[in-house]
């Protein structure tokens, strides 16, 4: 169940059932998320520091909604959606913390994104994934995303970014 108006990705709480909640990122949680994310790939691979991540999570960006992910009342990750983008939303940030991985949360969050996008009449979903982040890429491909281009050496010289899309039409 989602508590929102009729606009996709409303900056309100979204109840996905089974004690999985998305709610607008609380400023106090940016520091904790920054520290957790800095310790895990892909952020650890690109050497992004905890303070830098925390600062970016608090920076105002037009058309970007950041949702903290809560599982059973515990902070489990973050999802940031830029909408509008190219006839659909762009998954700008997606993180499920390690202790919550392997439980199907990633698929449930992607399904929520798709449901919200369809509600708004979107034609596709968008995201980028680093070529070294093979586990995330596999999840996105299983969910129906396809490569549409490669952005070479975007984040670091040792890796490329795969620009991906899932068609909804």
Q: Is the dihedral of CA 10, 13, 15, 20 positive or negative?
A: positive
Q: What is the pLDDT of residues 134-143, one digit of tens each?
A: 999 999 999 9
* pLDDT the model gives residue 4: 45
Q: Can you tell me the distance from the alpha carbon of 38 to that of 80, in angstroms, rounded to the nearest whole number? A: 17
Q: pLDDT by residue (tens digit) across 32-55?
A: 999 999 999 999 999 999 999 999
Per-residue confidence (pLDDT) for residue 78, from 0 to 100: 98
Three state DSSP letters for 32-58:
HHHHHHHCCCCCCCCCCCHHHHHHHHH
> What would the mean pLDDT of 114-122 be, rounded to a whole number?
95
Give the predicted TM-score (pTM) of the model: 0.92
The C-alpha atoms of residue 53 and residue 148 are separated, in whole angstroms, by 27
Is the peptide bond preceding residue 42 cis, with omega within 30 degrees of 0? yes
Of 77, 84, 73, 139, the closest CA to residue 110 belongs to 139
What is the pLDDT, as a whole number, of residue 157? 85
Domain ranges of the chain: 14-167
Q: Which CATH number fits domain 14-167: 3.40.630.30, 1.10.340.30, 3.40.1480.10, 3.50.30.60?
A: 3.40.630.30
The span from the CA of 66 to the CA of 9, in Å, is 9
């Amino acid at each position: 169940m989602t508590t929102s108006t009729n606009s996709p990705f409303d900056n309100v709480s979204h109840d996905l059932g089974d004690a999985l909640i998305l709610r607008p990122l609380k400023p106090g949680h940016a520091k904790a998320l920054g520290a957790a994310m800095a310790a895990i790939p892909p952020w650890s691979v690109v050497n992004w520091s905890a303070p830098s991540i925390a600062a970016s999570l608090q920076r105002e960006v037009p058309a970007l909604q950041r949702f903290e992910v809560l599982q059973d009342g515990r902070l489990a990750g973050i999802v940031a959606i830029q909408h509008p983008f190219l006839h659909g939303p762009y998954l700008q940030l997606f993180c499920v913390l390690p202790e919550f991985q392997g439980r199907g949360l990633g698929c449930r969050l992607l399904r929520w994104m798709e449901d919200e996008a369809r509600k708004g009449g979107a034609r596709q979903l968008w995201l980028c994934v680093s070529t070294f982040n093979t586990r995330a890429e596999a999840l996105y491909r299983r969910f129906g995303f396809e490569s549409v281009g490669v952005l070479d050496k975007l984040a670091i010289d040792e890796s490329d970014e795969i620009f991906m899309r899932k068609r909804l039409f």
